[in-house]
């Protein structure tokens, strides 16, 4: 305020050193954040190899050395000034910024709270420089000899700021945080090699990788990599690539979950939720499938400058991104090629097919349910067309009920055997009355008949809830069942929903119900056993039904599980074919409602490999 007496002046511009210490509070929280900033600088400088050394969790010593473009002397001195950056010039440049750094805060902030040393030499062979800074003050600057690239050494972090030093954790905890930071950077920058040493011991040594799968294999081993499915697709302008864990490999703990946007790691609960949503009907409750998703959106659609450590971002249209992620993951899970290979030793084979960075075999656009029925259908081996027979899944009371459009009423009624890589109308065999073997264009599918039918029923029942309700069959001799009081109460409460899935139930007396009509999902269906099992499960709960989001889903999951065709049930050839057709007409054919695989596959390549032909 002009006119205020000089002595009353309180507002002052902070000296640089103080400003830097305050900024350091935001950017530099612990050794891991120092390492992150320095490694990002190395990557921004085009380094192909980054080496990180720590002592004592980084509290006494951090060194980051790179083979990047380095700096000449004037730049090196300038780089230590606050807001000195070579990466942007104007505020507009912030849009679509591709480098990690751009605030020009990291080096001065780190130098303000440590004993700091910068050694750097430019690629063009110009002279090399060493600058030493203590507590934010340049104490020496000299010419040295070294190869191109930059080495930054940070000693005695926070020693001049005891208030911050107090918050540092034990060396082990700080080391773990550094490893995690380096891992994140390694996962987002595949082209560079990374090394991390702690107290002279090597913690990480990663060669450059071609694909996320290669990097995952180098970090966590080929078994982990073999559990992942590769995906690479674009939905509504959002590119979604990376790896997702196969549902049957998902565990309750330890699912590694990483998100990257335009090459940078970020956190976003909504996007994580979108992934979980995509897995919802394929994994059992409480499981956390892992994923590494690399998203790309156009410049201007994401703001990376909303968080001091850049850990969060802001999308201009978050729900579009969430929808794209959900759809991409869901359709990947639905693809046949998400079917696991055979046996443990096929981790490598699985890596071949799903992980080698090749696009998944089936693109979302060719998902089974939208694929066209091939015109040559009915070709293979059907010289003598089988006589039309009662459909496997058709209510026997079909005369009374309107025909289910998806029921196999002659040729047009058969759902497309869509999977692009299924051979035209394949032969099917049954193994031990439990598994259906189907020959495909590129090998063999083994379908678990119970799991497959479970998936089919689940989706049909959910569809019926949305639509007209299930057809049911009036029973000639109604079933009378005596239930426990709790079960009886549950049936009374759920009567409307049970009717919607085809069970017409009447309460009779205090603990007795009469079933007048029952669904007829297949010819071998045991209505009484299914009803009893379902009621018990719905009354007492189970992992399966507890995972459901609402009553509809509870009933659908339970009914699918209890009502599906069982293992050990002999099936005719047309029944097998119909079951496989139906499976591929579902949205998520690869997994049953427990998250177990419905299909295993054996490719011709794998066969050739095993017979030593490759």
The residues that touch Mg ion, with contacts defined as CB under 5 A, are 41, 101, 106
Task: State the number of CA atoms in the 13 A half-sphere of 480 facing the CB.
Answer: 6
Backbone φ and ψ for 159, nearest 5 degrees, come out as -65, -30
DSSP string, 290-352: -EEEEEE--TTSEE--SSTTS---EESSHHHHHHHHHHHHHHHHHSGGGS--SSGGGHHHHII
Can you list the alpha helix ranges (DSSP code H) found in 547-587? Answer: 551-563, 573-584
Q: How far is the CB of 38 from ligand ADP (least distance, A)?
A: 7
Give the residue closest to ligand ADP by C-beta.
101
Q: How far is the CB of 105 from Mg ion (least distance, A)?
A: 8
Nearest alpha-carbon partner for 131 in 119, 123, 122, 121: 119
Q: Report the SS3 class of residue 446.
A: strand
Count of residues in contact with ligand ADP, rule CB under 6 A: 22
Residue 150, contacted partner among Mg ion, ligand ADP, none, CB below 5-8 A by kind: ligand ADP
Single out the residue of 20, 21, 33, 41 in contact with ligand ADP (rule: CB under 6 A). 41
70 part of the interface to ligand ADP, by CB under 6 A: yes
C-alpha separations of 184 from 209, 232, 379, 591 in Å: 14, 20, 52, 30
590 part of the interface to ligand ADP, by CB under 6 A: no
Q: Are β-strands 264-265 and 257-261 bridged in parallel, bridged antiparallel, or unpaired?
A: antiparallel
103 part of the interface to ligand ADP, by CB under 6 A: yes
Residue 241, contacted partner among Mg ion, ligand ADP, none, CB below 5-8 A by kind: none
Single out the residue of 68, 212, 247, 364 in contact with ligand ADP (rule: CB under 6 A). 68
Q: Which is nearer to Mg ion, 41 or 449 (CB)?
A: 41
CA angle in degrees (0–180, nearest 5) for 433-416-231: 90
What residues pair up with 196 in beta bridges, in sequence order? 52, 204
Query: What's the rounded Cα separation, in Å, for the pair 512 and 498?
Result: 16
Single out the residue of 31, 58, 101, 426 in contact with ligand ADP (rule: CB under 6 A). 101
Single out the residue of 69, 248, 448, 504 in contact with ligand ADP (rule: CB under 6 A). 69
Q: Which is nearer to ligand ADP, 63 or 330 (CB)?
A: 63
Query: What's the rounded Cα separation, in Å, for the pair 54 and 570?
Result: 64
CB atoms within 10 A of CB 578: 24
86 part of the interface to ligand ADP, by CB under 6 A: yes
Q: Which is nearer to ligand ADP, 185 or 271 (CB)?
A: 185
Q: How far is the CB of 117 from Mg ion (least distance, A)?
A: 17
150 part of the interface to ligand ADP, by CB under 6 A: yes
Contact between 113 and 161 (Cβ < 8 Å) = yes
CA angle in degrees (0–180, nearest 5) for 270-455-236: 35
Contact between 187 and 179 (Cβ < 8 Å) = no
105 part of the interface to ligand ADP, by CB under 6 A: yes
Query: What's the rounded Cα separation, in Å, for the pair 444 and 341?
Result: 10
Q: How far is the CB of 15 from ligand ADP (least distance, A)?
A: 19
Spacing of C-alpha 536 from chain mean position: 34
116 part of the interface to ligand ADP, by CB under 6 A: no
106 part of the interface to ligand ADP, by CB under 6 A: yes
Contact between 592 and 598 (Cβ < 8 Å) = yes
Copy the structure tokens of residue 26: 């935001």
Residue 85, contacted partner among ligand ADP, Mg ion, none, CB below 5-8 A by kind: ligand ADP
117 part of the interface to ligand ADP, by CB under 6 A: no
Query: Near ligand ADP by CB under 6 A, which window of 14-22, 104-112, 369-377, 431-439?
Result: 104-112
Q: How far is the CB of 87 from ligand ADP (least distance, A)?
A: 5
C-alpha separations of 550 from 543, 553, 556 in Å: 14, 5, 10
Query: What's the rounded Cα separation, in Å, for the pair 213 and 202?
Result: 22
Q: How far is the CB of 322 from ligand ADP (least distance, A)?
A: 30
Contact between 175 and 57 (Cβ < 8 Å) = yes
Query: Near ligand ADP by CB under 6 A, which window of 66-74, 330-338, 412-420, 514-522?
Result: 66-74
Question: Residue 401, class by beta-carbon neighbours within 10 Å (0-12 exposed, 13-18 middle, 19+ buried)?
Answer: middle
136 part of the interface to ligand ADP, by CB under 6 A: no
Residue 245, contacted partner among Mg ion, ligand ADP, none, CB below 5-8 A by kind: none
45 part of the interface to ligand ADP, by CB under 6 A: yes
325 part of the interface to ligand ADP, by CB under 6 A: no
102 part of the interface to ligand ADP, by CB under 6 A: yes
Residue 102, contacted partner among Mg ion, ligand ADP, none, CB below 5-8 A by kind: ligand ADP
Query: Near ligand ADP by CB under 6 A, which window of 68-76, 140-148, 247-255, 381-389?
Result: 68-76
Query: Near ligand ADP by CB under 6 A, which window of 82-90, 224-232, 293-301, 355-363?
Result: 82-90
- Positions touching ligand ADP (CB under 6 A) are 37, 41-42, 45, 66, 68-71, 79, 84-87, 101-107, 150
């Amino acid at each position: 305020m002009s006119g205020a007496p000089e002595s009353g002046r309180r507002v002052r511009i902070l000296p640089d050193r103080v400003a830097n210490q305050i900024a350091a509070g935001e950017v530099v929280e612990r050794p891991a954040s120092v390492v992150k900033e320095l490694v990002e600088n190395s990557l921004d400088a085009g380094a192909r190899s980054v080496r990180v050394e720590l002592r004592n969790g980084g509290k006494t010593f951090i060194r980051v050395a790179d083979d990047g473009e380095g700096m000449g002397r004037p730049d090196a001195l300038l780089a230590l000034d606050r807001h000195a950056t070579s990466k942007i010039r104007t505020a507009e440049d912030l849009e679509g910024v591709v480098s990690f750094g751009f605030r020009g805060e990291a080096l001065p902030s780190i130098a303000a709270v440590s004993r700091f040393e910068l050694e750097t030499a430019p690629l063009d062979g110009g002279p090399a420089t060493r600058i030493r800074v203590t507590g934010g003050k340049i104490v020496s600057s000299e010419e040295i000899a070294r190869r191109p690239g930059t080495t930054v050494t940070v000693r005695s972090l926070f020693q001049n700021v005891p208030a911050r030093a107090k918050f540092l954790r034990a060396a082990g905890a700080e080391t773990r945080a550094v490893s995690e930071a380096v891992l994140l950077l390694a996962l987002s920058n595949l082209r560079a090699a990374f090394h991390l040493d702690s107290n002279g011991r090597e913690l990480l040594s990663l060669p450059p990788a071609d694909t996320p799968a290669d990097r995952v294999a180098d970090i966590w081993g080929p078994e982990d990599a073999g559990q992942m499915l590769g995906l690479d697709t674009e939905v509504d302008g959002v590119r979604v690539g990376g790896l997702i864990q196969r549902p049957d490999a998902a565990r309750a703990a330890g699912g590694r979950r990483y998100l990257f946007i335009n090459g940078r790691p970020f956190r976003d609960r909504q996007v994580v939720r979108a992934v979980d949503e995509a897995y919802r009907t394929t994994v059992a409750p409480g499981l956390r499938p892992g994923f590494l998703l690399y998203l790309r959106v156009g410049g201007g659609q994401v703001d990376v400058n909303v968080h001091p450590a850049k850990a969060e971002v802001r999308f201009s249209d978050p729900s579009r991104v969430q929808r794209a992620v959900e759809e991409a993951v869901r359709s990947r899970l639905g693809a046949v090629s998400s079917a696991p290979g055979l046996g443990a030793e096929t981790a490598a084979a699985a890596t071949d097919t799903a992980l080698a960075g090749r696009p998944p075999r089936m693109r979302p656009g060719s998902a089974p349910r939208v694929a066209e029925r091939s015109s040559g259908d009915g070709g293979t081996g059907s010289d003598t067309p089988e006589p039309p027979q009662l459909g496997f899944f058709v209510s026997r009371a079909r005369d009374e009920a309107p025909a289910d459009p998806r029921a196999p009423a002659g040729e047009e009624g058969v759902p497309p055997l869509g999977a692009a890589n299924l051979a035209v109308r394949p032969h099917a065999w049954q193994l031990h009355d439990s598994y259906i073997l189907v020959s495909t264009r590129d090998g063999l599918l083994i379908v678990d008949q119970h799991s497959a039918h479970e998936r089919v029923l689940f989706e049909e029942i959910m569809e019926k809830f949305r639509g007209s309700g299930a057809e049911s069959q009036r029973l000639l001799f109604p079933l009378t069942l005596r239930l426990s009081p709790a079960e009886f109460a549950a049936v009374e409460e759920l009567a409307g929903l049970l009717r919607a899935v085809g069970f017409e139930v009447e309460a009779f007396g205090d603990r007795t119900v009469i079933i007048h009509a029952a669904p007829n999902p297949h010819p071998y269906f045991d209505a009484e056993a299914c009803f009893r099992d379902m009621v018990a499960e719905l009354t007492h709960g189970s992992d399966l039904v507890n995972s459901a989001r609402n009553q509809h889903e509870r009933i659908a999951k339970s009914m699918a599980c209890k009502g599906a065709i069982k293992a050990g049930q002999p099936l005719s050839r047309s029944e097998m074919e119909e079951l496989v057709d139906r499976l591929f007409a579902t949205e998520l054919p690869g997994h049953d409602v427990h998250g177990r695989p419905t299909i295993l596959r054996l490719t011709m390549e794998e066969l050739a490999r095993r017979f030593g032909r490759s």
